[in-house]
A and B are shown apart, each in its own frame.
Chain A
């Protein structure tokens, strides 16, 4: 089974997505266990894959036994294995959480379809990460995006409109990506990433290749909501069901960032990316703008989910910035931040979902004394918030450490200032909430009876708790994670 893991990790969720419909129509309550078990299997497969990669080196899995570059190849190195673990763990945790939250937020007859689409989304995301073929990557990107549109649209009253924007932007992004693939196919006749790596260097001066590269970068930038192409994200993630917000916020942008790294540093050589066009220079400044814009907008929000969405825009800026400085520290920081940010986002969005579940709103101004009602949830919120600010020893600090070291080594002092400034703004945004919750100046200590403890069901509480605790653990394990996986993913020449 170990040899077949690369295909199983995609095939199993795809298969279960379809089987879910007959089972679900037979008995609606079956959908939830099916999803949880499937995502758990994905975690197991991703563990098997990572284990193989760490011990035996890269995996090349040929679909149907066809030789690459003609057949589709699943090529897995340390970066892929790392991404697989993140995506599968997040999908498993969110799946566990989904039961109660979905019951509350989605009409009963839709739950079966919800889980089917959820599994399709998982398939798409895992597929993007395992595949070693640019066109195949496009196919999975579209599976994930279409599933994403559908899931977002299930949400609140305003979700369909938000989804429409999302579809328009997302489709443009996908088109650009596909154009890029097409141009490369014209000049090289190949779609296989390993093959392209060998074929492209003699063609680096070609205008077609340069255009293809530009299409790739812009296309993926839309998908990861890099400022100023982020406009679809805040609405979509605010109005989506809480479970969906948590899952897509943690994985979609991160997998997009993975695709960007792949194209920039594997399909094209780092020397090309860093020198041929001023891409990285531009990306660096755009990323700075994203950090500033995201944080400033986050400060102005009263809606917790919308605030988190804007912080996500800023976090995408962090990841892109790290890649753009073009050195080892920056790259490690980016890749580490993919993990940290995805876990922080899950924790925070899951907390937002828990508050929605109990309170029916998520207006920051009405959070007073919520910690007395939901002590564990709010405690976890504080841990995740502190990690988001980047206070050691939580996970968030260590990726920022590498990001800033990278910027310093590249002598980009402005970037250092932006990174620190945005940390400060994130701190303000979260302390506003913490203060509203824990220290609300209630005029009447005596009039109000003490709020009764009323936590969310354990099915929701446990995922929140696990994710927050993991933020502390990951912080301490950062060094091991880097040694084991990330440092092998650093492109040559850095």
Chain B
């Protein structure tokens, strides 16, 4: 495979780092200028990511080694189809989210906005770092940076609940990554003598080199326990706790960047660290698939009980993330393609849902599902987007979510795992059970008037007609909803990239 050495990956990462400084020093002097930096950085970042796309589609690799610190420890970027897939997704949604953030933060007149936008920008830099990293060490570095710089975002409100949530967040993410993931990296290095990703799996030759199956199995379990960002049960409870964060954070980070980093690293570990051959001969793929199935079903059942909208969405995310893990764990071509597609399809659907949750909060200060009766009449655009988002989650054509479930289903058949089909069907029904009532009550029930005790938003009951959130928030959520539809009709680039990944790991 042809390799191009290019500094582009570094530019992509530094764009938002530079933006961080500009945001920090502009501070409250000029709010418009400060927010402009975010927008400019996000657009520049996206265009640089796109500039790499043609080369990748030509089947080339883009590589850049920043520094070699010691043997085995180098900061190296290697952009392949899987990497650019994730990079495009995250950098595109950052642009959308930036506009939304500005609307959200200004409407609610939040404090510490400079800190908020700074941390957001660093988080995106680090996400790009994970997406483009060429070895497990680089991945780990950026993985940790994401944890550290999203911690202030979760603690943003500085209320006791926010601090408690943030504490749980950092404990789960930092704790497990040091205790388990780092150990797994050590074991990998000991077994293979390198940490560079390879398409056949860097541990591929380990068995021949005399590494025992037990050793490899323990390493794999440590990886799965250590990549807590993927929110697999039983290590998922940081994600609902992180919902105390402002909604744009939940939307981009806890539906896309952070959690997708988690599943992305899982995919990397499965495909590029262990490799399809090794995992299937160890039988670990199937074990992981059933573990993920468990999470899919149980998280959906828990989601049914949640009345807080964001918490319900969070449990839905826990469940949906395991689809990606399930797909890749089946180790068949269609399932892997489906799993990779699910990263992007779920992202568009879920970010829409979070955007609407935020819009509802800004417009009406409502957070609970039981308060949403009749809201569809006041916020038709928002709730229409919500409907599209939930249909995509459920997986009804013509929405994106259908595609990935279809592929994973075919993959399950290829792997002769019929029970997995049952899991897919069961979870689809559960998804419908927890999303459809919201849509129903929003559009077809009458608003209840007795609930509020009249403070602060008493006026909202007297008025008729539209009460949408600010336009700067509504446009992004409509856009992402349209995206969820468009991805079903024309998944072109993403599907092509997913198939390239499948091709490459087949060797």
Contacts and interface: CB of A to CB of B under 8 A. Distances in A.
A391 B152 contact: no
B205 interface: no
B449 interface: no
B73 A476 contact: no
Given A391-B148, A393-B75, A420-B183, A439 B141 contact: no
Contacts of A386: 148
Interface string B64-85: 0001111101010000000000
A18 interface: no
B178 A439 contact: no
B186 A405 contact: yes
Interface string B155-177: 10011101100110011001100
B190 A409 contact: yes
Nearest to B176: A424
Nearest to B145: A391
A398 B171 CA distance: 22
Contact of B69 (A391, A421, A476): A476
A22 interface: no
Interface in A267-321: none
B167 A435 contact: yes
A435 B166 contact: yes
A39 interface: no
A416 B75 CA distance: 24
A177 B158 CA distance: 54
Contacts of B71: 479
A441 B182 contact: no
A391 B174 CA distance: 9
B137 A441 contact: no
Contacts of A427: 174-175, 178
A392 interface: yes
A475 B148 CA distance: 18
Contacts of B67: 476
A367 interface: no
A445 interface: yes
Contact of B178 (A423, A475, A478, A482): A423
A476 B68 CA distance: 8
A429 B160 CA distance: 19
Nearest to B180: A420
Nearest to B137: A392
B190 A479 contact: no
Nearest to A477: B69
A420 B152 contact: no
19 contacts: A391-B144, A392-B144, A393-B141, A401-B70, A404-B182, A404-B186, A405-B190, A416-B183, A416-B186, A420-B178, A424-B175, A427-B174, A435-B155, A435-B166, A439-B162, A439-B166, A441-B158, A479-B68, A482-B70
Given A424-B178, A424-B179, A440-B158, 14 more contacts: A386-B148, A390-B178, A391-B148, A392-B141, A408-B187, A409-B190, A416-B183, A423-B178, A424-B175, A427-B175, A442-B158, A475-B69, A478-B69, A478-B70
Interface of B: 67-71, 73, 75, 111, 137, 140-141, 144, 148, 152, 155, 158-160, 162-163, 166-167, 170-171, 174-175, 178-179, 182-183, 186-187, 189-190
